[in-house]
A and B are shown apart, each in its own frame.
Chain A
Amino acid sequence: MARRGRWHRAMVAALAAAMLAAAAAACGSGGGDETPVLNLYYSPEENFQKVVDECNAEAGGRYRIEYQVLPRGADDQRTQMVRRLAAGDSSMDILGLDVTWTAEFASAGWVLEWTADNKAEAEEGTLAAPLESARWEGRLYAAPKNTNTQLLWYRTDLMDRPPATWDEMIEMSLQLKERGQPYEIITMGSQYEGLVVLYNTMVESIGGHILNEDGTKAVFDEGAVEAMALLQRFASAGVTNPSFTNAQEDDARLQFQAGTGAFQLNYPFVYPAMQADAPDLAENVRWARYPAAEPGQESPVTIGGFNLAVSAYSEHPEEAFDAALCLRSPEHQKFSAINDGVPPTIESVYADPEMDEAYPMKNEILESVRDGALRPQTPAYQNVSTVLSAVLHPPAAIQPEQTAEELRRLVQDALEAQGVLP
């Protein structure tokens, strides 16, 4: 007994010593004046690590960026960041913000304003719409890294030229349907952000307003009501895919690849995917600008994309600004555009001949982004969007006047953060 007890005690002592040593080692590596580590929280992008590595090499020991991959879903990304920022977490330095989050993060004081040289560099040559998405109350809070926009993809074996307006497209679809040919207009109609994007594009196209100028009041003016009528008309005309109300981006892509669609409204990622998965179909598919609501006008399409911001709780803000600028530099935007398919925010990148092959539709994208529209800018955007997608779904059930009345009330509550989120 005694011997076992002594042996036992010795073992515990050894274990304790080992743990102490480990703890001491862990402390040692954290302190000292070594290279500051910048934690970059960004959504998953397959080849982005290469960009990070290049920036680390360029930094020459001034800083080292660690790419912390956020979850894939935009909601999950935001939830993680806002929760940690609300608690003042200092271990986040560079944040990849969706274009709709700028107002929220800026007004809460979670991200630093871009000023002086950093600001000038972030603005230089950057397209107007993406740049506007990084601003809040006239100040710049992020550097646009990439943008995104939807195009109209259509089948050349079914039509000679793409429709220019929604009504024309619905008309063409109905004619194809009568002739027993593939006719569906495929796009995203699930109850999520994609539905808000569709509605916002229609509102912008008609020239309506969801909120007032400074984003404090829910107006839903005549144009916004008209857009609801258009959305309802489209959803109930018998031209959509049966799963329209459940479709998100990738569902829409797969539906179109299945061959029942004549038109698809979706982001450019669908084209390389179609070339790989359905090459025969892809041969007959061309692209055009998104259809307008009214004839003779170009439609301002809602833009997406990501901006890079610096956390207000970062312990190395100066280095973080530098690193963010490096991550979104023209060369790196070109690299990401070619390798990960994300459209650049810097206009000159589009002119690069290397872009031609990977981006045959680059001119349409550039034009579309140039005329791009933003979603309502308000710190409560998340609330507004949640309410919008809940009330506008299913789109076929919209009753424009009544729905607008309901939305004016619910969105106003959402803006004041007083209502209940669905």
Chain B
Amino acid sequence: MTSRAEAPTRAVGRGQRAEPDARARASANVRGERRLAWLLCAPAVLVMLAVAAWPILYSIWLSLLRYDLRFPAEREFIGLSNYATVLTNPFWWSAFWITVLITVVSVAIEFVLGMGLAIIMHRTLVGRGVVRTAALIPYGIVTVVAAFSWRFAWTPGTGYLANLVTPGAAPLTERASALAIIILAEVWKTVPFMALLLMAGLALVPEDLLKAAAVDGATAWQRFVRVTLPIMKPAILVALLFRTLDAFRIFDNIFVLTAGAQETSSVSILTYNNLLRGLNLGIGSTMSVLIFITVAIIAFVFVKLFGTAAPGASEKEKR
């Protein structure tokens, strides 16, 4: 929004030296243009209000009600007591910290592997298309399908991986190993996405700069840490932000792999259990709102504290 508002003012500023007549014409033009801009935006804004703002407001409203679909007669307004119920509940906090753990560990691993893959894809000279396509395959597979193949692979009897660590063990039935498998599946799936975003950042690093650093005697590692990474910072932060937001809402991998057994529930799984299995719209919506708030905080931290910028805006800053 700010960028849109800035552009016309700058246009007026430039017109200052012109005659007053022209200035009035210019501002009339600006008004007309702004009206047109609003008109052109209106359909998109309306759609956004209908599909995003309304459901969010509605779930906030539902979260203030005691409302279970099985007991419609007992529906009543109860203020914030659903929030008190959820926030004092051990299941919620267990799921919350599990989600945080999965998010932090998987995003960290994804970042390292994604960076490696990005560099490989960036530097490949022969068969670049083949390398990139091959690297992107996991990201192209539907998550549920991939999760099922992981599940079968780790199931004793049907799977080729089950006997890998300890023979005859059922790794999906114990908490630590199940979490490790969930993280593995998540990492395998999204490293290509990370690599793709990071590769865009790598493309921003001017070749001359690297050559100059090499001439100055910087080692390959120094060139990477001192030149490449700082220039890539905006791309890295965007990639981390996207993945963190995504990882925090993890659902399908867990749903297929353990369905939340052995205390491997994420907040999304817990919300599903309460909302769709328990039919408790009040508690379920409360959890949805809490997830929404957490995601908003994560985004805020990234944008304000780390200075992550939206992809479009970052280009503008550079200009």
Residues of A within 8 A of B (CB): 75, 78-79, 82-83, 86, 104, 107-108, 190-192, 243, 245-246, 379-380, 382-383, 386, 390, 417-422
Contact = CB atoms under 8 A, between A and B. Distances in A.
B276 A83 contact: yes
Contacts of A86: 69, 279
B30 interface: no
Given A79-B276, A246-B173, A417 B71 contact: yes
Contact of A75 (B70, B85, B277, B279): B277
Nearest to A191: B261
Nearest to A383: B278
Given A82-B279, A191-B262, A246-B170, A421 B274 contact: yes
A420 B92 contact: yes
Contact of A418 (B85, B261, B273): B85
B265 interface: yes
25 contacts: A75-B277, A82-B279, A107-B70, A108-B72, A190-B173, A191-B262, A243-B173, A245-B173, A246-B170, A382-B277, A386-B278, A417-B278, A418-B66, A418-B283, A419-B85, A419-B89, A419-B283, A420-B92, A420-B274, A421-B270, A421-B273, A421-B278, A422-B91, A422-B265, A422-B273
Contacts of A379: 70-71
The 3 A-B pairs with the shortest beta carbon distances in the complex, nearest first, are A246-B173, A417-B68, A420-B89
Nearest to B69: A86
A79 B259 CA distance: 14
A219 B274 CA distance: 24
A417 B70 CA distance: 9
Given A191-B261, A246-B173, A421 B70 contact: no
B280 interface: yes
Interface in B160-180: 170, 173
B159 to A, nearest CB: 15
Interface in B57-101: 66, 68-72, 85-86, 89, 91-92
A75 B279 CA distance: 13
Contacts of A246: 170, 173
Interface string B304-316: 0000000000000
Q: Among the interface residues B68, B273, B279, which one has the most CB atoms of the partner chain A within 10 A?
A: B279
Nearest to B172: A246
Given A79-B277, A83-B276, A191-B262, A420 B70 contact: no
A420 B173 contact: no
Given A191-B261, A191-B262, A246-B173, A421 B68 contact: no
Q: Among the interface residues A107, A379, A418, which one has the most CB atoms of the partner chain B within 10 A?
A: A418
Interface string B256-291: 000011100100001001101111100100000000
A135 B173 CA distance: 37
A420 B86 contact: yes
A422 B287 CA distance: 13
Given A379-B70, A420-B89, 19 more contacts: A78-B277, A82-B279, A83-B279, A86-B69, A107-B70, A190-B173, A191-B261, A191-B262, A192-B261, A246-B173, A386-B278, A417-B71, A417-B278, A420-B86, A420-B91, A421-B273, A421-B274, A421-B277, A421-B278
Contacts of A78: 277
Given A191-B262, A420-B92, A382 B69 contact: no
Contacts of A417: 68, 70-71, 278, 280
B218 to A, nearest CB: 54
Interface in B21-51: none
Contact of A243 (B89, B170, B260, B278): B170
Contacts of B280: 417, 421
Nearest to A413: B85
B190 to A, nearest CB: 27
A420 B71 CA distance: 16
Contacts of B66: 418
B178 to A, nearest CB: 11
B276 A420 contact: no
B268 to A, nearest CB: 14
Given A382-B277, A382-B278, A420 B85 contact: yes
A107 B86 CA distance: 26
Contacts of A79: 276-277
A417 B76 CA distance: 13
Given A86-B279, A191-B261, A246-B170, A421 B71 contact: no
Contacts of B70: 82, 104, 107-108, 379-380, 417
A243 B280 CA distance: 34
A379 B74 CA distance: 14
Contacts of B69: 82, 86, 108
Contact of B283 (A108, A390, A420): A420
A352 B251 CA distance: 50
A104 B279 CA distance: 11
Q: Among the interface residues A78, A79, A379, which one has the most CB atoms of the partner chain B within 10 A?
A: A79
Contact of B270 (A104, A191, A419, A420): A420
A258 to B, nearest CB: 11
Nearest to A83: B276
A104 to B, nearest CB: 6
Contacts of A245: 173
